Chains A and B, each alone.
Chain A
Amino acid sequence: SQTIHQWPATLVQPVGSPLSLECTVEGTSNPNLYWYRQAAGRGLQLLFYSVGIGQISSEVPQNLSASRPQDRQFILSSKKLLLSDSGFYLCAWNSGVVYNSPLHFGNGTRLTVT
């Protein structure tokens, strides 16, 4: 069966520090991978998605970036965090082959920038 792992579960970082959140998927090949952020009053905001290794689409211009160094690994990064980067970050995957495959989410990372 397929599983998605996301870590860490919680993170407190000072303003200006770097960020690296990692997500891995097991039990499937060539998944689509997504990073979403849930911020207060804004629902689930799509940040990045990837349909293959090295392919990243950015939805929201900001100081975050994403990379997909391996087929089932998706990394969210920042060189310098802002206060506004605080939120609940969710990694998700779906099948790149099955039409309209639902998203499967990880358990999320609660990021607090102080």
Chain B
Amino acid sequence: DQQVKQNSPSLSVQEGRISILNCDYTNSMFDYFLWYKKYPAEGPTFLISISSIKDKNEDGRFTVFLNKSAKHLSLHIVPSQPGDSAVYFCAATLVNRDDKIIFGKGTRLHILP
């Protein structure tokens, strides 16, 4: 049962344009969402997060949008840069605070020159 879904395995975007990575979730009890970036042979690194009480959080080139009614969040990267080429994981935590963090399958982003 995949509670956090990233339905696009890969995405290619021209350098300088906007990259939009999507994530859907099924459990309405999730109260906090995070995005991680992962390069090959390395552990993921935290990018940005958003609480379920907000609908937008921005940090430099990265913005996360949350649509609770649709159970959907997205990560916008603008402008996209070559170093953004990586796998991006969406993750969510549960409101009962059992400290579990559930990840999606990831989306591989390719930034084209």
The chain A residues found within 8 Å of chain B, CB to CB, are 6, 32, 34, 36, 41-46, 49, 51, 57, 59, 90, 92, 94, 96, 100, 102-108, 110
Contacts and interface: CB of A to CB of B under 8 A. Distances in A.
Contacts of A32: 99
A36 B45 CA distance: 14
A41 B99 contact: no
Contact of A108 (B41, B101, B105): B41
A111 to B, nearest CB: 13
Given A34-B101, A59-B100, A108 B106 contact: no
Contacts of A36: 103
A102 B34 contact: yes
Given A42-B105, A100-B32, A102-B34, A110 B41 contact: yes
Q: Which of A32, A102, A106 has the most CB of B within 10 A?
A: A102
B103 to A, nearest CB: 4
Nearest to A44: B103
Contacts of B91: 44, 103
A45 B103 CA distance: 7
A107 B42 contact: yes
Given A34-B101, A49-B99, A103-B101, A43 B43 contact: no
